[in-house]
Amino acid sequence: MNVEVIGGRQWRGKFAAALVFEGADSLPGMSRAEAKRFLAVAEEEGFRGQKGKTALLRSNQGRRRLVVAGLGKRAEFEPERVRVAAAGALKQAEALGAVELGLLLPEASGVPGGLPGFAAAAVEGMLLAGYRYTEHRKAKPDESRPPAELKVVAPGKPAPALARAVDEATKLCEAVRYARDLVNEPPSRKAPEMMAELANWLAKPGRVTVEVLRKDDLVREGMNGILRVGAGSHEPPCLVHFRYRPKGAPKKKVVVIGKGITFDSGGLCIKPATGMDTMKCDMAGAAAVFGLFRLLGHLDLAVEVHGLAPLAENMPGGGAQKPGDVIRHYGGKTVEVLNTDAEGRLVLADALAWGSTLKPDLMLDMATLTGACVIALGDEVSGVMGTDQATIDKLVELGRQTGESFWQLPLPDSYRSHLKSKVADIKNTGKPRVAGTIAAGLFLKEFVADKVPWLHLDIAGTAWNDSARDYLPAGGTGVPLRTLFALLRGL
Ligand code: BES
Ligand code: MN
Ligand code: ZN
């Protein structure tokens, strides 16, 4: 979808959408009297602006069509409602075959964030709901298509702040859509070396640099977690290192890490077929890192950002690591591998230890790490753990605004005993069926330098959707890229 902001007088199109609060008595671009007539018609269909409801209105002998979508009660407002309503309106417009859609903004949004915030959320809802993954199939004959053109129609002359907000939302959604594409890509088409190749395309002179550490580099650095997890595959593992430098002197340095298991068969501790069929999504953390750096090629931040994506395919080939093996990770800590399916923490251990040496002001990792997190929090809420309570609080609050939910789990010191090993410093599993998400978090914590504030996001449940919901399609969701960007922006 091509997005453009235009002034009210320039809008002549056939299909428009408007988002309205419950009980509203006006519609954008219309006189009160005209709006009243329209809303009376909508009410006959049962539409009064309720949350989750849409209605279709016709004017000019049916030549012009207006989709109205409800925002619910003004007093209950949250930005997420704008996204959901916009997504509903988009789907209606799609079904009508709209090629060009005008998003009619009200005079004043009457909500926190003002008109720019309102417009940005609406554009997000539409761009994210209009996503399709069609790389490997033909369109079905009856399949609707999102409009090619989205015109954001300002009430008067568009203010620069409005244009800026829409432009930023558009770029953000492009990055999210890219992350979704990567997650949806078949596993054999995104092996670590292919991902590294893609990473190189994200380099932007003067902004984003990309470096890839391959076998020899990983051996030299002692990144044996990445090497051993990748050892059971014909596809060699690697570590992608992105770096963004702001124009001025950076205020802060952040390291962002994403688990990049391009396919998780479980390794020798092989998964049952039913647990394996979605495991191409096991690089969703890395996909968020890729999406972030795609975005940083176009949008400015005041902080220096390093992105690390440890990439490996977890397979049970002849070279595969075996239960009982011991890994010496970057930095020297040793781990007894008792389950080769707990591989994410092994690749992350190297990245966290290595990232710590950059002495960042914040280190954050994102990983489809534990099935236990899906059991605890389901597919709408990600787990968050870490050592920097103020930033965790900020992330949870930002998640409320972005519509990506997070819930904090504790990291009690006493549970570290679950990781005790008889032969190495720690083992890669906790107690069976006991606090699996926390045990994984505590495992990661072992590799974070004491002085580095650190957050861990477990996105096992949220990075992938079995079926579509609101503006999230089935398949890769792009979570948690929007919240990550909001967090970095606020530093
Ligand atoms: N990639 C999986 C976790 C996962 C499960 C992600 C479901 C998305 C959906 C991870 O590598 C894994 O297999 N974890 C094991 C750990 C266990 C062996 C300690 C798990 O959660 O069962
Ligand atoms: Mn696994
Ligand atoms: Zn995994």
Task: Choose the residue to mutate in 283, 369, 444, 477 for probing ligand 1, maximizing ligand atoms within 8 Å of C-beta.
Answer: 369
What string of H, E and C letters represents the secondary structure of 226-281? HHHHHCCCCCCCEEEEEEECCCCCCCCEEEEEECEEEEECCCCCCCCHHHHCCHHH
Which atom of ligand 1 sits closest to the CA of residue 369?
3
- Average pLDDT of the chain is 97
| Band of pLDDT at residue 9, cut at 50, 70 and 90 | confident
Structural contact between residues 316 and 265, judged by C-beta atoms closer than 8 angstroms: yes
What are the φ/ψ torsions at residue 104 (nearest 5 degrees)? -85, 115
Structural contact between residues 51 and 72, judged by C-beta atoms closer than 8 angstroms: yes
181-207 average pLDDT score = 98
What are the φ/ψ torsions at residue 258 (nearest 5 degrees)? -130, 130
Residue 58: CB atoms within 10 Å: 12
The predicted structure's pLDDT at residue 63: 80
What percentage of the chain carries pLDDT values higher than 70? Answer: 100
- Provide the token pair at 355: 């990232």
Tell me: do 9 and 72 sit in the same domain.
yes
What percentage of the chain carries pLDDT values higher than 90? Answer: 93
Task: Note whether residue 455 is domain-resident.
Answer: yes
CA–CA dist 457, 447 (Å, integer): 15
Res. 462: pLDDT tops 90: yes
CA–CA dist 372, 376 (Å, integer): 6
Q: Tell me how far the alpha carbon of residue 342 lies from the centroid of ligand 1, in angstroms.
A: 6
Task: Note whether residue 168 is domain-resident.
Answer: no
- Provide the token pair at 265: 């068969």
| Band of pLDDT at residue 59, cut at 50, 70 and 90 | confident
Tell me: do 326 and 475 sit in the same domain.
yes
The predicted structure's pLDDT at residue 301: 97
Tell me: do 240 and 355 sit in the same domain.
yes
- Provide the token pair at 11: 């809008």
The predicted structure's pLDDT at residue 109: 81
Tell me: do 210 and 125 sit in the same domain.
no
Cis peptide before 146 (omega within 30 of 0): no
For residue range 360-418, list pLDDT tens digits in order: 999 999 999 999 999 999 999 999 999 999 999 999 999 999 999 999 999 999 999 99
The predicted structure's pLDDT at residue 350: 99
Task: Give me the count of residues in the chain.
Answer: 491
Q: What single letter denotes the amino acid at residue 23?
A: G
Tell me: do 128 and 221 sit in the same domain.
no
Only one residue has tokens 């953390």, namely 285
- Which of 345, 427, 445, 482 is labelled catalytic? 345
Tell me: do 107 and 198 sit in the same domain.
no
Q: Where are the alpha helices (DSSP H) in 16-101?
A: 32-44, 79-95
Which atom of ligand 1 sits closest to the CA of residue 281?
8
CA–CA dist 429, 421 (Å, integer): 9
Q: Tell me how far the alpha carbon of residue 327 lies from the centroid of ligand 2, in angstroms.
A: 17
- Among protein residues, the one with the nearest Cα to ligand 1's atom 7 is 371
Task: Choose the residue to mutate in 259, 281, 370 for probing ligand 1, maximizing ligand atoms within 8 Å of C-beta.
Answer: 370
CA–CA dist 477, 448 (Å, integer): 28
The predicted structure's pLDDT at residue 195: 98
- Provide the token pair at 29: 């671009």
Structural contact between residues 215 and 267, judged by C-beta atoms closer than 8 angstroms: no
**DSSP 8-state assignment for residue 472:** B
Tell me: do 191 and 150 sit in the same domain.
no
- Provide the token pair at 284: 């969703």
Lowest mean pLDDT among 132-141, 432-441, 459-468: 132-141
Q: What single letter denotes the amino acid at residue 334?
A: T
The predicted structure's pLDDT at residue 10: 84
Task: Note whether residue 120 is domain-resident.
Answer: yes
123-140 average pLDDT score = 95
Q: Tell me how far the alpha carbon of residue 332 lies from the centroid of ligand 2, in angstroms.
A: 23
The predicted structure's pLDDT at residue 8: 86
- The kind and range of the H/E element at 401 are helix 389-402
The predicted structure's pLDDT at residue 141: 86
Tell me: do 150 and 182 sit in the same domain.
no
Instruction: For residue 49, give its domain range.
Output: 2-133+145-154
Tell me: do 211 and 359 sit in the same domain.
yes
- The kind and range of the H/E element at 423 are none
Contacts of 261 (CB under 8 A, 6+ apart): 229, 279, 282, 283, 311, 312, 313, 314, 343, 344, 347, 368
Better-predicted residue by pLDDT, 62 or 329: 329
Residues facing 7 on adjacent strands: 154
Structural contact between residues 368 and 284, judged by C-beta atoms closer than 8 angstroms: yes
Ligand 1 lining (C-beta closer than 6 Å): 264, 282, 339, 341-344, 368-372, 374, 429, 436, 460
C-alpha neighbours within 13 Å on the C-beta side of residue 203: 13
Which atom of ligand 1 sits closest to the CA of residue 436?
19
- Provide the token pair at 344: 């994410």
Res. 61: pLDDT tops 80: no
Tell me: do 86 and 190 sit in the same domain.
no
- Counted domains in the chain: 2
Tell me: do 114 and 263 sit in the same domain.
no
Structural contact between residues 402 and 395, judged by C-beta atoms closer than 8 angstroms: no
32-54 average pLDDT score = 93
- CATH of residue 218's domain is 3.40.630.10
For residue range 286-344, list pLDDT tens digits in order: 999 999 999 999 999 999 999 999 999 999 999 999 999 999 999 999 999 999 999 99
Q: Tell me how far the alpha carbon of residue 136 lies from the centroid of ligand 3, in angstroms.
A: 25
Q: What single letter denotes the amino acid at residue 433?
A: R
- CATH of residue 35's domain is 3.40.220.10
Is 345 an active-site residue?
A: yes
Residue 40 exposed, middle or buried by CB count within 10 Å (0-12, 13-18, 19+): exposed
**Residue 58: strand, helix, or coil:** strand
CA–CA dist 85, 90 (Å, integer): 9
Task: Note whether residue 282 is domain-resident.
Answer: yes
4-32 average pLDDT score = 92
Is beta strand 64-70 parallel, antiparallel or unpaired with respect to 54-59? antiparallel
| Band of pLDDT at residue 111, cut at 50, 70 and 90 | confident
